[in-house]
Homo-oligomer: A and B are copies of this chain.
Amino acid sequence: MPDAVQGDKPIFRSDMTVELMQSMGSDETVVAAARVSTAADLSKDALKQDPEASKGLINFLMKNRHGTPFEHNSMTFFVHAPIFVFREFMRHRVGFSYNEESGRYRQLRPIFYTPSKKRNLVQIGKPGVYDFIPGDAKQFALMQTEMKKSNQQAYESYLAILNAGVAREVARMVLPVGIYSSMYVTCNARSLMSLLSLRTKHEDSHFPSYPQREIEMVAEQMEAIFAKKMPITYASFEKNGRVSP
């Protein structure tokens, strides 16, 4: 995503980017940590488990909410998303570490989010349990037009204030929450499952969730990476109603 940025002409995008930067641990680490409670073979070999044999134990831990064995692992993601998504993301305090691009230290680039045609625009239902249905072509066009006009004006004002010699941290006040930012986020399987449980909507979830679609787009990409890194843990999360242990 960053390579597309050139000049001061606003760019409008509808996607989120999630990249795994580094990771530590696996399903086997979950098993090894759990076995500290019970087993005598407390050596490094405990990390080399037969993946098949781990399934039962991991499922037991998930079902009975033994959460701590899922914390001895770590994933660092690099995420590009609009500020309004990061605002929701950073409400997750426990087991999450953040470093975000700063409008105090650098001039922000004119990349703005605008919903794609696939995004349901019209809200129905009661507060807290909103559902969303597609908007019509007129609604989509008006939204697009207004977003572009407004964001362009905001970025013009941003540049004008900067060009007058005013500090970046002041000029940025005009920028919309739809502007893209980027961040490093580090979490573990337990904290990630907590986020996925609240920020994705699934028919087979034990508890209902009503996330805004845009943070769900980020969460879905994290989920796909997590499912690949820790397939047994992930399958157990799905099987047990997508509730964080």
Chain B residues in 8 Å Cβ range of A129: 64
Q: Which residue of B lies closest to A88 (CB)?
A: B104
- Known contacts: A36-B184, A99-B72. The answer to whether A164 contacts B149 by CB under 8 A is no
Task: State the oligomeric state as a number of copies.
Answer: 4
- Known contacts: A94-B94, A115-B170. The answer to whether A101 contacts B182 by CB under 8 A is no
Q: Which residue of B lies closest to A68 (CB)?
A: B99
Chain B residues in 8 Å Cβ range of A60: 128
- Across the interface, A121 reaches (CB within 8 A) one of B90, B127, B170, namely B170
Tell me if A208 is interfacial: C-beta within 8 Å of chain B.
yes
In the bound assembly, the distance between CA atoms of A185 and B94 in angstroms comes to 17
Tell me if A49 is interfacial: C-beta within 8 Å of chain B.
no
The answer on a CB contact under 8 Å between B153 and A149 is yes
Chain A contact residues (Cβ within 8 angstroms of B): what range? 35 or more
In the bound assembly, the distance between CA atoms of A184 and B140 in angstroms comes to 35
Q: Per-residue 0/1 for A18-60: is the Cβ within 8 Å of any B Cβ (1 yes, 0 no)?
A: 0101111100010011101111111110010000000000001
Tell me if A186 is interfacial: C-beta within 8 Å of chain B.
yes
- Across the interface, A97 reaches (CB within 8 A) one of B71, B99, B139, B212, namely B71
A111 to chain B, nearest CB (A): 12
Q: Per-residue 0/1 for A83-118: is the Cβ within 8 Å of any B Cβ (1 yes, 0 no)?
A: 110010011011011111111111000000111000
Question: What are 6 residue pairs bridging A and B, where the CB atoms are less than 8 Å apart in the complex?
Answer: A21-B32, A60-B128, A63-B207, A65-B198, A150-B153, A153-B153
19 more contacts with CB within 8 A, not counting A44-B78, A64-B129, A73-B186, are A21-B44, A24-B76, A33-B184, A42-B182, A63-B207, A63-B208, A64-B128, A66-B128, A69-B99, A114-B173, A121-B167, A122-B166, A132-B167, A142-B166, A146-B157, A146-B174, A150-B154, A150-B158, A173-B176
